């Protein structure tokens, strides 16, 4: 006989076990175990080769995009050449100066200036050196921030950030500019990740970050809040050593570029500085963004804004992690720019944009459920190259060719050691061996101080400085309006004519450029 069957259990019958698939986004309240100090900052080698991980494919896309950007724009941006002239003088033994014998702190990044000087000493080519190390910095950012996102948010969040950072055309344009922003972005990511691990390298990294740009001081201070006293002390010692050296050499640790720009452009506040937030705001007030760098971002605002808000909430609960520290260090820069109303310069946008993209990547899964939206956004980012590459290439070529024409004319006509007064001092100043008096006051503090006084500044400076050459935009002479900053150049038309009577016109660069054409005048 068959044995009697066991009685059926009373209550709910047991069901076969099954695996329940849940969201890969971890519970933000879950306490994470501290990472060992020897843990690698970068993904494991196996993860780097795994196409499912957010490193291999985005990394290849990043390298391809940066190389294409490098080829399309083989020279650096106008302002990068200001730092390069300082670096070349240092490498040549003339000191860290723009005009030999004049100790003026006219650049923004001591770390980048010294590193550029090392590149000139080793390769004699600051442009190649700067671009190559900017690519290294971007690869570092992708790997370090990608790993932080994968650990503290989700692999999907890491994919979103890595893909956008790799293919967005603006990022490649900044990388090709030769400016220091890519280095600062990488140092923020490294400093935050090192602080999370309580690494011995945290202090030096934060000290270098604070010396990279003025904004780096705020970013480093925020990350240091989560570091130990050992790391804070080391970071403070590195920063203090740099400040002391700058103070002893220049007489001030504050960049003259920061002083001059604050005098000329002021701090008009968030409404005048809406170029920092009008491209992400869901509320359209008046006209839309007029800047080429942000106009394409407005198409993504319906994703970036809600996903960014959701991401900030998650990041706040993880604010002591490396991801939270890096994200809020970047967002702090954005908030500072927007609240103060900092004047817009194209390379400034990199840090605010990456802070918003990190936050949006974290919060994206809570506002976007379907894959079609993500696929559509990815296709838009990937194919924007067809429009944006020509935009950035055209802008760079127009800038370089126009200023290069003036530089070539001054090389032929001017005598080394003569003085020239002009506004675009990067490419022209780097190529022409003249003593430069710049209209902004970046390397000539007396100019900034006089412009604080108001109208007639151009007249007064020409009379006191007696430059041998003037390089001035046609529109300034035609309209009597300054190209940049406060104060009109001349008090009246008679004063303008009196100043010009002492000079003769010898050359016009890009005569078809209208009011932007540069006129070269020689003292009679």
Q: Say yes or no to pLDDT of 22 above 70.
A: no
Residue 291 pLDDT grade (very low, low, confident, very high; cuts 50, 70, 90): confident
pLDDT at 469 over 80: yes
Mean pLDDT of the chain: 90
**Which has the closest alpha carbon to 346: 181, 135, 517, 161?**
181
368: its two tokens: 């976007």
d(CA 82, CA 122): 19
**CA-CA distance, 368 to 300, in Å (whole number)?**
13
Q: Are residues 414 and 483 in the same domain?
A: yes
Burial track 390-401 (b if 16+ CB lie within 10 A, e otherwise): ebbbebbeebbe
Same domain for 365 and 436, yes or no, is no
Q: How buried is 49 (Cβ within 10 angstroms: 0-12 exposed, 13-18 middle, 19+ buried)? A: exposed
Tell me: pLDDT of 138 over 80: yes
Average pLDDT of span 291-297: 86
Indicate if the alpha-carbon torsion angle 11, 13, 18, 22 is positive or negative: negative
> Model confidence over 332-377: pLDDT tens digits?
999 999 999 999 999 999 999 999 999 999 999 999 888 899 999 9
Same domain for 196 and 294, yes or no, is yes
* Tens digits of residue pLDDT in 80-129: 999 999 999 999 999 999 999 999 999 999 999 999 999 999 999 999 99
pLDDT of 196 reads 95
Least confident of 134-138, 288-292, 402-406: 288-292
Q: Tell me 514's DSSP state.
A: G
Who wins on pLDDT, 496 or 12? 496
pLDDT beyond 80 at 26: no
One domain, residues 326 and 408: no
3-class SS string, 257-289: HHHHHHHHHCCCCCCCCHHHCCCCCCCCCCCCC
| CB count in 10 Å sphere of residue 366 | 16
State the residue range of the domain holding 410.
Answer: 404-523
Task: Judge whether 241 lies within some domain.
Answer: yes
Query: What 3-state DSSP class applies to 308?
Result: helix
pTM of the model: 0.91
Three-state SS annotation for 419-435: EEEECCCCHHHHHCCCE
163 and 280 co-located in one domain = yes
Half-sphere exposure of 250 (CA within 13 A, CB side): 25
> Is 202 domain-assigned?
yes
pLDDT tens sequence across 453-468: 999 999 999 999 999 9
Q: In this structure, is residue 439 part of a structural domain?
A: yes
Alpha carbon distances (Å) from 183 to 16, 115, 351, 438: 55, 11, 11, 27
514: left (phi over 0), alpha (psi -120 to 50) or beta: left
Render pLDDT for 392-439 as a digit per residue (tens, 0 to 9): 998 899 889 999 999 999 999 999 889 999 999 999 999 998 999 999
337 and 420 inside one domain: no
C-alpha 218/C-alpha 176 separation (Å) is 26
Structural domain contains residue 47 = no
pLDDT value at position 386? 87
Tens digits of residue pLDDT in 65-78: 999 999 999 999 99
User: Which positions ≥6 away from 70 have C-beta within 8 Å?
Assistant: 131, 135, 175, 176
- The Cα–Cα gap between 172 and 177 comes to 9
Q: Are 414 and 488 found together in one domain? A: yes
- Residue pair 436/410 in contact (Cβ under 8 Å)? The answer is no
Query: Based on the domain organization, do 99 and 247 belong to the same domain?
Result: yes
448 and 349 housed in the same domain: no
CB 212, CB 183: distance < 8 Å: yes
194/323 same-domain check? yes
Mean pLDDT (whole number) for 41-56: 94
User: Would you say residue 17 has pLDDT above 90?
Assistant: no
- pLDDT at residue 296 tops 50: yes
The pLDDT assigned to 390 comes to: 84
At a CB cut-off of 8 Å and minimum separation 6, what does 18 contact?
Answer: none
Q: Return the pLDDT at 35.
A: 46
**Average confidence (pLDDT) over 475-491:** 90
Q: Which of 27, 26, 54 is nearest to 42 (CA)?
A: 54
Rg of the chain over CA atoms, in angstroms? 27
* Alpha-carbon distance values, 122 to 106, 118, 129 (Å): 24, 6, 9
Separation CA 8–CA 393 (nearest Å) = 77
- pLDDT value at position 39? 57
Asked if pLDDT for residue 286 goes beyond 80, the answer is: no
CA torsion sign for 446, 84, 86, 332 is positive
Are 421 and 462 in contact, with CB atoms under 8 Å apart? yes
pLDDT band with cut points at 50, 70 and 90 for residue 31: very low
Asked whether residue 138 is domain-assigned, the answer is yes
The answer to whether position 464 is within a domain reads: yes
Q: Please indicate, yes or no, if residue 399 is contained in any of the structural domains.
A: no
State whether 158 and 252 are in the same domain.
yes
Mean pLDDT of 492-516: 93
Q: Which residues pair with 520 in a beta bridge?
A: 471, 507
Segments in 176-255 forming alpha helices (H) = 181-197, 202-210, 214-224, 229-250
Enumerate the β-bridge partners of residue 503: 523
What is the number of domains present in the chain? 2
- 8 Å CB contact between 334 and 270: no
Instruction: Grade residue 523 by pLDDT with cuts at 50, 70 and 90.
Output: very high
Q: Pairing mode, if any, of strands 419-422 and 518-523? A: unpaired
Report if residue 496 sits inside a domain.
yes
Q: Does residue 342 share a domain with residue 193?
A: yes
- 131-140, 264-273, 311-320: segment of lowest average pLDDT: 264-273
pLDDT average, residue stretch 257-282: 90
Sign (positive or negative) of CA dihedral 487, 493, 498, 504:
positive
Copy the structure tokens of residue 13: 């019958």
Q: How far apart are the first and last CA of the chain?
A: 126
Residue 184: Cβ-neighbour burial (10 angstroms; 0-12, 13-18, 19+): buried
Instruction: Give the model's pLDDT for residue 117.
Output: 98
Q: What DSSP letter does each residue of 384-412 carry, written as one string?
A: THHHHHHHHHHHHHHHHHHHHHHHHHHHH
pLDDT of residue 37: 42
Taking CA atoms, 174 is separated from 4, 54, 55, 214, 279, in Å, by: 79, 22, 21, 19, 19
Lowest mean pLDDT among 22-26, 47-51, 100-104, 108-112: 22-26
CB 367 within 8 A of CB 312: no
Q: Reply yes or no on whether the pLDDT at 13 is more than 50.
A: no
- The proportion of the chain whose per-residue pLDDT surpasses 90, expressed as a percent, equals 80
């Amino acid at each position: 006989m068959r044995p009697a069957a066991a009685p059926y259990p009373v209550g709910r019958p047991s069901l076969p076990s099954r695996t329940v698939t849940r969201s890969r986004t971890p519970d933000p309240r879950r306490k994470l175990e501290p990472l060992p100090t020897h843990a690698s900052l970068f993904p494991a080698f196996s993860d780097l080769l795994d196409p499912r991980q957010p490193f291999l494919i985005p990394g290849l896309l990043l390298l391809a995009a940066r190389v294409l950007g490098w080829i399309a724009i083989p020279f650096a941006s106008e302002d990068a050449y200001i730092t390069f002239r300082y670096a070349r003088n240092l490498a040549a033994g003339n000191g860290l100066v723009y005009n030999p014998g004049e100790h003026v702190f006219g650049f923004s990044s001591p770390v980048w200036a010294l590193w550029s000087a090392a590149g000139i000493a080793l390769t004699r080519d600051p442009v190649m050196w700067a671009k190559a190390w900017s690519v290294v910095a971007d690869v570092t950012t992708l790997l370090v921030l990608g790993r932080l996102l994968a650990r503290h948010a989700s692999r999907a969040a890491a994919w979103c950030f890595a893909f956008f950072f790799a293919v967005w055309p603006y990022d490649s344009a900044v990388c090709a500019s030769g400016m220091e922003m890519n280095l600062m972005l990488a140092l923020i990511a490294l400093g935050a990740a090192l602080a999370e691990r309580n690494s011995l390298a945290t202090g030096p990294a934060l000290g270098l970050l604070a010396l990279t740009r003025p904004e780096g001081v705020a970013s480093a201070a925020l990350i240091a809040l989560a570091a130990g006293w050992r790391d804070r002390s080391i970071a403070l010692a590195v920063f203090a050593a740099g400040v002391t050296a700058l103070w002893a050499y220049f007489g001030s640790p504050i960049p003259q570029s920061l002083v001059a720009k604050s005098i000329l452009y002021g701090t008009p506040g968030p409404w005048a500085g809406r170029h920092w937030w009008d491209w992400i705001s869901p509320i359209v007030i008046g006209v839309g963004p007029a800047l080429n760098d942000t106009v394409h971002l407005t198409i993504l605002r319906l994703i970036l804004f809600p996903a960014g808000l959701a991401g900030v909430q998650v990041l706040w609960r993880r604010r002591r992690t490396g991801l939270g520290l890096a994200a809020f260090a970047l967002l702090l820069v954005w908030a500072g720019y927007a609240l103060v109303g900092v004047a817009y310069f194209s390379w400034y946008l990199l840090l605010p944009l990456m802070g918003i993209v990190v936050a949006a990547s974290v919060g994206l899964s809570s506002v976007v459920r379907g894959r079609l939206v993500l696929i559509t956004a990815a296709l838009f980012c990937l194919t924007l190259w067809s429009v944006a590459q020509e935009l950035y290439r055209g802008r760079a070529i127009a800038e370089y060719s126009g200023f290069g024409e003036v530089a070539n004319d001054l090389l032929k006509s001017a005598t080394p050691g003569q003085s020239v007064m002009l506004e675009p001092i990067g490419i022209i100043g780097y190529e022409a061996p003249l003593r430069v008096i710049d209209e902004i006051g970046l390397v000539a503090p007396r100019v900034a101080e006089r412009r604080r006084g108001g109208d007639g500044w151009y007249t007064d400076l020409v009379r006191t400085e007696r430059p041998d050459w003037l390089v001035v935009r046609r529109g300034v002479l035609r309209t009597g309006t300054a190209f940049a900053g406060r104060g009109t150049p001349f008090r009246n038309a008679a004063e303008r004519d009196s100043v010009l009577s002492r000079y003769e016109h010898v050359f016009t660069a890009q005569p078809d450029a209208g009011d932007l054409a540069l006129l070269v005048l020689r003292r009679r």
